[in-house]
C-alpha cells in the first residue's frame, strides 16, 4: 500500500544518521538501507540491494569530496557539516534506490511492470517522506523534550535553574532517542536493516584489518564500530546539553528557536569530537562516544552470510570504481 510504503521510507529516513558510518572524508564507510548496503570511498560509492529472488541489484556513481569543491569545507567545524551533508544526500539516494527495487519487486509479484510510474511515485513519495521526517525530528527531539522540561520546572521549581532545566531537557531527549530506537528494533523490517548495518560494520573492519575481504574473514569481527552514526547521535545530544546550559534564554519559543538554529554548530562540534576521539582512543573525547558503542547493540544485529555477501559486493564495486579513476581507498 502507498501509505505503508511512505511510512517505511519516513522511518528509514529517521535512521539515516544512526545507520551512517565512516564520517571522515578519507575513510571507507557505508550505510545500511532496505535489504542492502551502500559503501563509499573518497570519490565513488556503490549500493547493493538483495532482490527477493536472491540476485543483487547494484548502482554506482562517482563523487567529489566537499573540500575539493571548496576549500572552506576542509576547515574545522565546517568540514563536519560538509561531510555530513554529503553523507545525508548519499543516504537519501541509496534509500531511494532500495525503495525503487522494493517497489519493482512488488509490481512484479502483482504482474505489473511500469518503470516510468515507479520513478514518478518514488520522486514525490521520497519528498513527502523527507518533509515528514524533518518535522518528526524537530517535534520529537526538540519540541517534546523542551515542553516536558518546561512543565517539570513549573511543578518543581528546583528544576527551573539554567543548569537543571537543560539537564532535564537533555536527559529527556536521550531517553526519547533510546525508546524510539528500541521500539523500531521490534519491527521485523527494521531488524533486517540493523542486520545489514552489522554486516556493513564487519566488512569495514575486515577491510581495515588488511586481511582478504570475504565472508569467512568478516564474520569474526564485531558489529560495534566507533565511527558509527549512532555514536555521532549520542555525542550530538551530550554536546547540545552542555551548550544549551551556556545560553541564558528563558522563554519557551526562544529556547526552541535556539535549539533549531544551533543544529549546524552542534553537528560540527560533534564531528570534531568523534574525529579526535577516533585518533586518540584514550582521550576524554573518546569516552563521549562510548555510550554510542553500547547503543549499537540495538542498532546492529548479527548478519547472515547473504547479508555479509551483499555488503562485500557493495564494497568491491565501490573499490573497482575508485580504482578505475586512479584512486584508492585510504585507511588512516
pLDDT per residue as tens digits for the range 220-274: 999 888 777 777 888 889 999 999 999 989 899 999 999 999 999 998 888 888 7
Question: Is residue 315 helix, strand or coil?
Answer: helix
- Tell me the pLDDT band of 149, cut-offs 50, 70 and 90: very high
Confidence (pLDDT) at 17: 56
Q: What is the 8-class DSSP label of residue 76? A: T
CB 30 within 8 A of CB 198: no
CA-CA distances (angstroms) from residue 330 to 27, 43, 73, 76, 236? 6, 11, 19, 20, 27
Of 28-42, 120-134, 216-230, the poorest mean pLDDT is in: 120-134
Task: Decide which of 14 and 141 is more confident.
Answer: 141
The C-alpha cell at 28 is 571507507
- pLDDT (tens digit per residue) in 181-212: 888 888 888 899 999 999 999 999 999 888 99
- Tell me the pLDDT band of 23, cut-offs 50, 70 and 90: very low
Amino acid at each position: 500500500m502507498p501509505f505503508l510504503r511512505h511510512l517505511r521510507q519516513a522511518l528509514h529516513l529517521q535512521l539515516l544518521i544512526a545507520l551512517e558510518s565512516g564520517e571522515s572524508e578519507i575513510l571507507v564507510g557505508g550505510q545500511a538501507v532496505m535489504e542492502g548496503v551502500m559503501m563509499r570511498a573518497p570519490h565513488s560509492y556503490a549500493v547493493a540491494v538483495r532482490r527477493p529472488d536472491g540476485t543483487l541489484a547494484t548502482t554506482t556513481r562517482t563523487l567529489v569530496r566537499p573540500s575539493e569543491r571548496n576549500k572552506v569545507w576542509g576547515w574545522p567545524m565546517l568540514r563536519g557539516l560538509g561531510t555530513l551533508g554529503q553523507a545525508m544526500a548519499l543516504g537519501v539516494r541509496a534509500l531511494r534506490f532500495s525503495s525503487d527495487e522494493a517497489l519493482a519487486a512488488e509490481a512484479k509479484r502483482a504482474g505489473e511492470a511500469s518503470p516510468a510510474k515507479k520513478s514518478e511515485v518514488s520522486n514525490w513519495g521520497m519528498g513527502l517522506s523527507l518533509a515528514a521526517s524533518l518535522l518528526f525530528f524537530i517535534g520529537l527531539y526538540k519540541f517534546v523534550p523542551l515542553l516536558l522540561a518546561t512543565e517539570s520546572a513549573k511543578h518543581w521549581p528546583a528544576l527551573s535553574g539554567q543548569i537543571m532545566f537543560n539537564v532535564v531537557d537533555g536527559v529527556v531527549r536521550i531517553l526519547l532517542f533510546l525508546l524510539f530506537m528500541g521500539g523500531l528494533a521490534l519491527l521485523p523490517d527494521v531488524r533486517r536493516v540493523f542486520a545489514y548495518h552489522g554486516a556493513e560494520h564487519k566488512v569495514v573492519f575486515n577491510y581495515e584489518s588488511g586481511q582478504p575481504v570475504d565472508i569467512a574473514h568478516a564474520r569474526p569481527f564485531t558489529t560495534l564500530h566507533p565511527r558509527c552514526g549512532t555514536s555521532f547521535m549520542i555525542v550530538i545530544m551530550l554536546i547540545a546539553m552542555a551548550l544549551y546550559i551556556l545560553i541564558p534564554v528563558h522563554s519557551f519559543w526562544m529556547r526552541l528557536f535556539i535549539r533549531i538554529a544551533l543544529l549546524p554548530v552542534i553537528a560540527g562540534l560533534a564531528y570534531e569530537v568523534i574525529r579526535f576521539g577516533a585518533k586518540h582512543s584514550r582521550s576524554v573525547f573518546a569516552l563521549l562516544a562510548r555510550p554510542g558503542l553500547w547503543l549499537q547493540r540495538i542498532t546492529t544485529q548479527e548478519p547472515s552470510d547473504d547479508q555479509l555477501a551483499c555488503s562485500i559486493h557493495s564494497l568491491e564495486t565501490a573499490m573497482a570504481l575508485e580504482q578505475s579513476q586512479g584512486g584508492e581507498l585510504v585507511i588512516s
